[in-house]
Structure 1
Amino acid sequence: MTAPDLSGQVALVAGASGGLGGPIAAALRAAGARVGGLDVRRPERETPEEVFIPCDIGDEGAVANAVAEARTVLGGEPSILVNSAAVVARRGLEDTASEWDDALRVNLTGAFYLIREVIGGMRRAGYGRIVQLASLVAETGGAGNVAAYAASKAGLVGLAKAAAAELAADGVTSNVVSPAWIDSGMFGVPGATPDQVPVRRMGTPEDVVSAVLYLVAPAAGFVTGQVVQVNGGLRFG
Structure 2
Amino acid sequence: MTIAISQTDRLGANPFVVEGPIVAGSGIPGPNFALGTVAGGDRESEWVYCQLVLAAQTTLQPGQWFQWSRDYVASLLTTAAAVVGQRCGVFSGAAQPPTLTGGPAGAITLQPGIYYIWLQRNGQAPAQVASATAALVVAETTITAGQASAPASATVGTKAIANVNFAAANQTFAATTVNGSNLLTNLSGLNAGSGPFIGAAVAGTGIPGGTTIAAVSYSPNGVVQSITLSANATANGTGITITATGVLEATLMRPFLSKVN
- Give the TM-score normalised by structure 1: 0.29
* Bigger Rg over Cα: 2
Q: Which has the higher strand share?
A: 2
- Give the TM-score normalised by structure 2: 0.27
Q: Which has the higher helix share?
A: 1
